[in-house]
């Protein structure tokens, strides 16, 4: 939390994304699943008061306690909180999510880009999980914000962390190289690929810069997915 002031443009972009997404969801969707929210520091918790139930998948007990405390104002709107301890990133985890909560909207909270760094060895890689989300949850309303790449190379001079309140828009299947050119003019940069770019292969997406420390930048991608309309009979 040392650099929280630096994070504000990024956090504002996340809030804008999530508010717009939750408002656009069908009113019949009255349950929301938060996957990996930690203590919810980047989440606009007030956006969740429209749901009857919020289901939380968060393995860190301290983070769960902090999030529960921060959700008290939301619970005043009769929102029920439920904590599910199933490992969604182990084998069969996404199938469990789909089957157990068949009518809930799903929000992956800055977690997918961290999978290669934090998950135990038996769990799937970020690339495999992203592929699984695209296939297993194709008939669901879901969204995710996650690390796309990270680097110690500063972005182009004068570029605000978020060019608009929504970040920068990219069409479906925009190659990663074209995304990076929008933020870095250098012909080559040293970066860490968080292996999440495939989520932009089926839906358009937005990206925003997050200056996480004075010397490190993350490029965060937002993807929101609408289920395909049923074929006419």
Query: What confidence score (pLDDT) does residue 146 get?
Result: 98
Per-residue pLDDT for 233 more than 90?
Answer: no
Measure the CA–CA gap between 130 and 69, rounded to whole angstroms: 31
Query: What confidence score (pLDDT) does residue 230 get?
Result: 47
Convert the pLDDT of each residue in 97-140 to its tens digit.
999 999 999 999 999 999 998 866 656 789 999 999 999 999 99
Average pLDDT rounded to a whole number, residues 154-161: 70
Q: What share of the chain is helix, strand, coil (3-state, %, to 5)?
A: 35, 25, 45
Of 217, 199, 195, nearest to 208 (Cα)?
217
Supply φ then ψ for residue 72, to 5 degrees.
-55, -45
Sign of CA dihedral 54, 55, 57, 63: positive
Q: Which residue has the higher pLDDT, 3 or 208?
A: 208
Convert the pLDDT of each residue in 10-27 to its tens digit.
999 999 999 999 999 999
Convert the pLDDT of each residue in 41-82 to its tens digit.
999 999 999 999 999 999 999 999 999 999 999 998 999 999
Per-residue pLDDT for 158 more than 50?
Answer: yes
Supply φ then ψ for residue 56, to 5 degrees.
-120, 125
Tell me the two tokens of residue 6. 């630096």
Locate the domains of the chain by residue range. 4-221
Convert the pLDDT of each residue in 182-230 to its tens digit.
999 887 899 999 999 999 999 999 999 999 999 999 999 999 999 986 4
Per-residue pLDDT for 83 more than 60?
Answer: yes
Look up the CATH architecture of domain 4-221.
3-Layer(aba) Sandwich (3.40)
Query: What confidence score (pLDDT) does residue 232 get?
Result: 39
- Rounded to two decimals, the pTM is 0.93
Query: What confidence score (pLDDT) does residue 55 get?
Result: 98
Residue 104: how many other CB atoms lie within 10 Å: 21
Measure the CA–CA gap between 194 and 179, rounded to whole angstroms: 14
How buried is residue 227: exposed, middle or buried, by Cβ count under 10 Å (0-12/13-18/19+)?
exposed
Confidence of residue 179 (pLDDT cuts 50, 70, 90): very high
């Amino acid at each position: 939390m040392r650099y929280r002031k630096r994070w504000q443009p990024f956090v504002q972009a996340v809030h804008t994304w999530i508010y717009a997404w939750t408002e656009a969801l069908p009113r019949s969707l009255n349950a929301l699943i938060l996957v990996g929210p930690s203590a919810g520091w980047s989440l606009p918790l007030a956006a969740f008061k429209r749901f009857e139930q919020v289901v939380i998948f968060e393995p860190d007990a301290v983070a769960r306690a902090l999030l529960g405390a921060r959700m008290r104002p939301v619970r005043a709107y009769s929102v029920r909180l439920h904590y599910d301890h199933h490992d969604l990133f182990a084998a069969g985890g996404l199938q469990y999510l789909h089957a157990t909560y068949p009518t809930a909207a799903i929000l992956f909270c800055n977690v997918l880009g961290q999978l290669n760094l934090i998950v135990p060895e038996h769990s799937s890689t970020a690339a495999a999980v992203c592929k699984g989300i695209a296939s297993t949850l194709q008939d669901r309303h879901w969204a995710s914000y996650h690390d796309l790449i990270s680097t110690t190379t500063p972005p182009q001079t004068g570029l605000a962390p978020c060019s608009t309140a929504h970040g920068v828009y990219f069409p479906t299947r925009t190659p990663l190289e074209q995304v990076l050119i929008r933020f870095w003019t250098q012909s080559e940069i040293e970066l860490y690929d968080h292996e999440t770019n495939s989520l932009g292969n089926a839906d358009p997406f937005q990206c925003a810069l997050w200056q996480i420390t004075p010397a490190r930048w993350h490029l965060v991608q937002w993807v929101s997915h609408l289920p395909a309309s049923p074929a006419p009979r």
